[in-house]
Structure 1
Amino acid sequence: MIDLATTTVPHWIGGGRHSSASARTAPVFDPAIGVQTKSVVLADVDDVEVAVSAAAGAFPGWAKTSIARRQGVLFAFRELLNARKHELAEIITGEHGKVIGDATGEIQRGLEVVELATGFPHLTKGAFSENVSTGVDVYSVREPLGVVAIISPFNFPAMVPLWFVPVAIAAGNSVVLKPSEKDPSAALWLAELWKEAGLPDGVFNVLNGDKSAVDGLIRHPKVEAVSFVGSTPIAQYIYENSAKVGKRVQAFGGAKNHMLVLADADLDLVADQAINAGYGSAGERCMAISVVLALEPVADRLVAKLRERIGRLRVGDGRRGTDMGPLVTAEHREKVASYIDLAAADGATVVVDGRNPSVDGEPGGFWLGPTLLDDVPVTSRAYTEEIFGPVLSVVRVGSFEEGVELINSGRFGNGTAIFTNDGGAARRFQQEVEVGMIGINLPIPVPVAYYSFGGAKGSLFGDAKAYGAQGFDFFTKEKTITSRWLDPARHGGIDLGFPQND
């Protein structure tokens, strides 16, 4: 058996693996066994410069490449990714810990954006108006920005890059991707696939690193735009510091997503969907449902159904056909567990305690089982803060209005859901709730690729959302041309007045 502990994950710059002179590295673990399997090189200042320079050098040629040829690369990449997604799923499970089925699912949602990007000619074309004034035409064109930086999180090492990279590349930009140092190998695999698809060297680069790499990218004068997905404090930091130096920026932050359950809801549907949305990917999703707001008349029955379903879940190594895997690191596992301690101390009832789960896996894995908390005080940090783990909280409310008020009073506004058979209540909910993505009788309302993803309030910094039409708007700049070809026989002569249309 190969000793993977000796494997070092390098950068990918200029079309190949790049050896860094940096002596800094970070450990990469297999969370299901709790053992370091790799190291990843952390970029220094020179690495940032090399990566951005490679992207900048590749940009002019790629921007001038015909639409037909760019489209051909995207179609080739889509076919390769679809055919070999099982390889990528295994890499994700080995470094993040999510089960194989969940890893495959994230790739599939990324594929939707790749497929959207293959149709980019329609989304990047301009407009034309003839004879807006006598002999004058106006038209617009959309052009790429240049070098763009994409900083992605650990919880979706494939899907989040696939939400941004294909759109940026289709629009004619060159990219430097900074993946999470916790699970960097998926990004390197994608880089090799782009090369196989025929993408010119330097158009897509992978720069591994930590805060030093992030700061280097957002301060670099040749980086025109920054896209980030991660926690709210970091999103705000990246947004403010990127905007301060004049960059275009979109930064997606954290969440505390609520599910409001009305008295007429189908409780079996609610229970199934709350389990799926609360414990999928071990709760390490920005779109996870972490709070169930249950109207008092149905709260006891719903808690009983949730407890019964949790008892059926198998926790363990995601390569063994289990339902839920480990958390990504030991440190993160301890942080999530501390919120269970905190909730109990604040008066919540621990209905199902996942701190010492029975698992189908190695004892050294970063295990934390599905946890169900009831009667969580809304003053507890376990309620107000993003836990980002398999902890589902039930808060009992007396009315629709109380539930909506709780949702709107939070600092996040990423996703929310309502479960009801009352169409009027659902319509009122979608009008009154101050959240960017809303589900009606479904818990994870991540939009399809031809719409756009993004929350509100402390969940989104900047104006542009991800993928869809807004994604292409973000990665392009518009030029508007007003054109007149003079008839030598009808020269207008000198007129110092402000031009008027006639």
Structure 2
Amino acid sequence: MQEIGHWINGEHVAGTSGRFADVYNPATGEVQAKVALATQAEMDAAVASAAEAQKAWGATNPQRRARVMMAFVQLINRDMDKLAEKLSSEHGKTFPDAKGDVQRGLEVIEYCIGAPQMLKGEFTDSAGPGIDMYSMRQPLGVVAGITPFNFPAMIPLWKMGPALACGNAMIMKPSERDPSVPLMLAELLKEAGLPDGVLQVINGDKESVDAILDHDTIQAVGFVGSTPIAQYIYERAAQNGKRAQCFGGAKNHMIIMPDADLDQAADALVGAGYGAAGERCMAISVAVPVGEETADKLREKLVPRIEKLKVGPYTAGDDVDYGPVVTAAAKENILRLVQSGVDQGAELAVDGRDFSLQGYEDGFFVGPHLFDKVTPDMDIYKTEIFGPVLSMVRAGSYEEAIGLAISHEYGNGTAIYTRDGDTARDFANRINIGMVGINVPIPVPLAYHTFGGWKKSGFGDLNQHGPDAFKFYTRTKTVTSRWPSGIKEGGEFNFKAMD
């Protein structure tokens, strides 16, 4: 069986801990590989190598660093299918979805080609008599990224691109559930011209995470995952004097107004709620139709669409709408929450509990579920399910609907479907959520804007990608400079003044 190790100092190395985690094929339920879990000694070696390599990389001018990003873009495009194939085999998402995973990460690397522009400082001529003032953006040194299973290409690229373009070295700790793609990206970066040691990929579990958080050399940590772990990492990083940007869970609401195009809204809900088996932090998991008539009509349109969804392995190609969830434990948790919804009185309009795929009975497949008449006190409303489950919460008015989203503890993304510009404008201005869609179900910003949630969906002052990423991965140094003048009044040069 394949053993997956680490990427240290520009090469693949085997793990030495003797500890391994299973890497599954989610479609079959079979273990396809084992990934090594790093020791403290392995982490220390990687950090030491990164710190040494960063000295020259940080001194490399931004234009040359950008050229590495340019070459990296070309190589990702060259190997797009290869990356997506491996991603699908370990995560389970469909091949088109896997390519989208890589593509959205690639767009951030494309943005990082603009590093010379983003890293320009400011200059003030004659701030005082003979005094100039200017600022410089300089790299932090060694930084770390701790990334989740649900986007094994996109999130590592979101972390490594800006960090490396800014002149830092990076320790990447990907999810042990699907670790291969980050290692493949490290190979491509080396081929693109990144010096050995500047990027290290260390596989591991909580022991590796704590080693990152407690290491004196590591200056900043970026994380994406669940809220409890995001808060833990943020607090421990802060206690150790590190910068941290930590993004957690979500419960994204989509409000459907009576004037909305309900066919458009229903299509959006199906794509946003069930795509990638619901394993997306920007998935719509709560539909909030305003008014009983709107709710009844929306349900009529949703049920047949959901019942027609095709669930299967990524090898089935474009004939599949979504694949399995990542592990058996994830499947069990989803079905447990579904049962809690039934027990607590929600109406299960589409029941996918008995779904089974012939020939893949041991795979981690979960059928689509639709709940109606969900109330805010139910577990399926309060908890991030991270599966193919959509809940309808009926609201009597716009104010009640927006109040649901405002009062929920998560604030990652939200959307409204309406034909009324005034309502949409009010919604965008009042909602206390980081990313807002108006007739757009999953409002993930493009790479040159910033991505981040509010409330318990995000911890830290700066967000991912866009200008915030360049601020997060650099420090500003401000220089005040005064040079004695040798020019006398009237223009005659005074040589004594220069002595």
Q: Please report the TM-score for the alignment, with normalisation by the length of structure 1.
A: 0.96
**Aligned residues of 1:317 and 1:361 also touching (Cα < 8 A):** no
Structure 2 match to 1:487? 485
Structure 1 match to 2:254? 259
Structure 1 match to 2:433? 435
**Aligned residues of 2:91 and 2:149 also touching (Cα < 8 A):** yes
Q: Alpha-carbon deviation of 1:358?
A: 4.6
- SS of the equivalent of 1:130 reads strand
Aligned partner of 1:40 among 27, 35, 42? 35
Structure 1 match to 2:496? none
Q: Alpha-carbon deviation of 1:312?
A: 1.6
Aligned partner of 2:223 among 219, 228, 236? 228
Cα distance in 1 between the residues matched to 2:431 and 2:358: 41
Structure 1: where are the runs of 5+ without partners? 1-5, 492-502
Structure 2: where are the runs of 5+ without partners? 490-499
**Aligned residues of 2:153 and 2:181 also touching (Cα < 8 A):** yes
Q: 2:450 is aligned with what amino acid?
A: S
Cα distance in 2 between the residues matched to 1:377 and 1:308: 23
Q: Is 1:423 aligned to 2:418, yes or no? A: no
- SS of the equivalent of 2:452 reads coil
**Aligned residues of 1:316 and 1:360 also touching (Cα < 8 A):** no
- SS of the equivalent of 2:296 reads helix
- SS of the equivalent of 2:79 reads helix
Q: Give the alignment's Cα RMSD to 1 decimal.
A: 1.1
Cα distance in 2 between the residues matched to 1:326 and 1:240: 34
Q: Is 1:217 aligned to 2:215, yes or no? A: no
Moved more, 33-42 or 307-316: 307-316
Matches within 5 A, 1:159-308: 159-295=154-290, 296-308=292-304
Deviations 1:4-32 (A, max 9, x none): xx101100010001222201100000000
Deviations 1:29-83 (A, max 9, x none): 0000110000000011111101111111110010111223212111000000012
CA separation of 1:23 and 1:462: change in aligned 2, threshold 3 A? same
Cα distance in 2 between the residues matched to 1:422 and 1:166: 39
Aligned partner of 1:444 among 428, 442, 445? 442
Q: Alpha-carbon deviation of 1:488?
A: 4.2
Cα distance in 1 between the residues matched to 2:359 and 2:322: 11
- SS of the equivalent of 1:225 reads strand
Deviations 1:443-478 (A, max 9, x none): 100001000000100001010100100000000001
Deviations 1:284-306 (A, max 9, x none): 00000000001122101111111
Deviations 1:347-369 (A, max 9, x none): 00111111222536511100101
Give the percent of matched residue pairs that are identical in Structure 1 and Structure 2.
51
Cα distance in 2 between the residues matched to 1:28 and 1:91: 12
Q: Alpha-carbon deviation of 1:95?
A: 0.4
**Aligned residues of 1:315 and 1:360 also touching (Cα < 8 A):** no
Cα distance in 1 between the residues matched to 2:78 and 2:15: 32
Aligned partner of 1:311 among 302, 307, 314? 307
Deviations 1:204-258 (A, max 9, x none): 1100000000000010000000000000000000000000010011000110000
CA separation of 1:360 and 1:286: change in aligned 2, threshold 3 A? farther
Q: 1:16 is aligned with what amino acid?
A: E
Cα distance in 2 between the residues matched to 1:347 and 1:385: 16
How many residues matched? 486
Structure 2 match to 1:394? 392
Q: 1:346 is aligned with what amino acid?
A: Q
- SS of the equivalent of 2:393 reads strand
Matches within 5 A, 1:47-196: 47-196=42-191
Structure 2 match to 1:25? 20
Runs of 4+ residues over 4 Å off in structure 1: 488-491
Q: Alpha-carbon deviation of 1:84?
A: 1.0
Q: Please report the TM-score for the alignment, with normalisation by the length of structure 2.
A: 0.96
Structure 1 match to 2:495? none
Q: 1:399 is aligned with what amino acid?
A: S
Cα distance in 2 between the residues matched to 1:489 and 1:293: 73
Cα distance in 2 between the residues matched to 1:409 and 1:59: 45
**Aligned residues of 1:316 and 1:361 also touching (Cα < 8 A):** no
Q: 1:226 is aligned with what amino acid?
A: V
Structure 1 match to 2:336? 338
